Amino acid sequence: MRILVVEDEKKVASFIKRGLEEEKFAVDVAYDGEEGLYMAENTPYDLIIMDIMLPKKDGLAVIKDLRAKDNPSPVLCLTAKDKVEDIVTGLDSGSDDYLTKPFAFSELLARVRALLRRQKQDRGAELFFADLRLDPVSHKVWRSSVEIDLTAKEYALIEYFMRNPNQVLTRTMIAEHVWDYSFDSFTNIIDVYVNYLRKKIDKDYAKKLIHTVRGVGYVLKEES
Ligand code: CA
């Protein structure tokens, strides 16, 4: 397992590198965004740990570039900011999870392991629901044969809905499955993401598929 750490604070970078190496990971470090992007594009990393505030090119811009080029490595964002909108921006740009500084190494390690585990999970056959089709190998989704352009998080969310159709999914369930852990204080992120998804999946179609169950959560179903 090879991990890239992109972090300009030398102390933080060496703290992460040392800890991960003790856990038998191979770790490379880049100290600015341009170097990080170059390394990520030229080595197939199992995971990238990306600081947001970086010299030369900020972490979010690096992640966007990587995702635009279909780089599949999962990204864990490090941020000093803990405002919901910054986290949403980070997740929306294509990162898979985030951690706010300062953090305990044990917490970082738990997030790293969860992301690697999810990466390894069986991807399996295509999923169908109503006129939706999802290909878990290419991460592509279609509605009525029209391909829908989704961010990584939106894709994870629709995949979770399509694996559990006609079942009410609570915000806690969604948080635990799509983000791998529960974050009670950030459940409004889920509402934000469900709304993004609705704009892409339902807005232009007469038949709505994602329904709100007031006070509980959401359900993917055909009837209103
Ligand atoms: Ca920094």
User: Model confidence over 12-38: pLDDT tens digits?
Assistant: 999 999 999 998 888 999 999 999 999
Q: Are 55 and 97 within one domain?
A: yes
User: What range does the domain containing 171 cover?
Assistant: 127-220
Res. 60: pLDDT tops 80: yes
Write the CATH number for 96: 3.40.50.2300
State in Å: Cα 40 to ligand 1 middle. 18
Give the C-alpha separation, 162 to 174, whole Å. 12
φ/ψ of residue 99, rounded to 5: -140, 130
List beta partners, residue 194.
none
Q: What is the CA(98)–ligand 1 centre distance, in A?
A: 14
If asked whether residues 107 and 48 sit together in one domain, one would say yes
Residue 55: what pLDDT?
A: 96
The band of 221, judged by pLDDT with boundaries at 50, 70 and 90, is very high
pLDDT tens for residues 75-115?
999 987 665 666 777 777 788 888 888 889 999 999 999 88
Q: Pick the last residue of a domain from 91, 118, 145.
A: 118
Give 80 Cα–ligand 1 centroid separation in angstroms. Answer: 8
What is the distance in A from the centroid of ligand 1 to the CA of 10? 9
Which one, of 157, 192, 197, 198, lies nearest residue 174 by Cα?
157
What is the total count of domains within the chain? 2
Whether residue 19 is found in the same domain as residue 99: yes
Helix, strand or coil, per DSSP, at residue 143: strand
Span from the CA of 59 to the centroid of ligand 1 (angstroms): 9
Judged against a pLDDT cut of 60, whether residue 52 lies above it is answered with yes
pLDDT value for 125: 75
Residues 144 and 114 in one domain: no
One domain, residues 40 and 137: no
Shared domain for 50 and 30, answered yes or no, is yes
Report how far ligand 1's centroid is from the alpha carbon of 4 (Å).
15
State pTM to two decimals: 0.57
